[in-house]
Structure 1
């Protein structure tokens, strides 16, 4: 039996503030109690059909580039509209990889400097779809 992805855990200096940012990004809710950890999930208790986000306060700020990050795909708007919305919520652009043809992604950071990317929406992908052939990598 394989493992399942339970939480995307983020070390941060202000767990409630960063949890609120990500809840706004994802359209989820913030849940916390007397424990310093803060959970962001669509509902409580989480259905566990998909991972939630867990924010854990730590005393030190982030100092190096993330080795792992999340990629977001807008559900009901274009990539460019989503990037504008995320900047209004407090994100910052790190690098812009959008092309004149509409391809590419935008690398952003959240209010504490954690990296994430915004890709094109499914609708934008469908318009410019080129067949891709993936293979299953076996042992």
Structure 2
């Protein structure tokens, strides 16, 4: 039976990642991944990547700090929605297999960070051009 990638979380770009994370934390009853909580010692909050998890510790949403972002104009397509999915696999061997499968299904490689010892990954674009990541992670 084939193995399939597991959706890790949905990542949203934001010009104020903490503000957006706080909205979803409160709205959905989520909590920060350990280490992503706002500083409580008065230090500057310079986090550029935050992850929210559910009660069981499963990743749900992530927030990527960006310098600027055009606000989506949905339901028109003038400025489309901005988000991507991160899919985790358990090993570099599986990472390579899932890249191959994705490309066979019509994905295009955008970025290769497969040689990163800490978190090997590929960024690919689906057939419609939406980027997504496949990376090695325990969860």
Q: What band does the TM-score fall into relative to the shorter chain?
A: 0.3 to 0.5
More strand per residue: 2
Greater relative contact order: 1 or 2 (C-alpha under 8 angstroms, separation 6 or more)? 2
